[in-house]
Amino acid sequence: MSKFSLKDIFSGEILAKEWVKKQYRLIFLICGLLFAYIYFGYQSERQQNCLNQLNKELQDAYFTKQTLNAQVMTQTRQSSIAKRLEEKGSKIRESHVAAVKID
């Protein structure tokens, strides 16, 4: 194996050397693996960003659900329903007689 100089590298004469000619397959394999490594790195980064965005949306939906659930619980309390009926002028009143279980 002879020494390579910068002049050989920049002029392209290094590609004509016998040792390099024998290693073309290995060089192409290494270049192919390098391109695949870079491609899959970018691909996984894109998927990670998408996953992070979906997690944020899921968290927002969860908090929205919690807020709506609290509002529904507040609006369906017996006292809230009685108050709304009274405001609308309804004649329906709350019963003061205890419920009886029928066997």
Residues in CB range of 27: below 8 A, 6 or more apart: 20
Most confident of 4-13, 51-60, 74-83, 86-95: 51-60
pLDDT at 18 over 90: no
Distances in whole angstroms, Cα of residue 57 to Cα of each of 6, 20, 31, 81, 91: 55, 54, 39, 34, 45
Pull the structure tokens for residue 91: 């004649």
Pull the structure tokens for residue 35: 């391109």
% of the chain residues with pLDDT over 90:
48
Write down the pLDDT at residue 2. 63
- The number of residues making up the chain comes to 103
Pull the structure tokens for residue 81: 């329903």
pTM above 0.75? no
For residues 29 and 88, which has the higher predicted lDDT (pLDDT)?
A: 29
Cα-trace Rg, the chain: 38
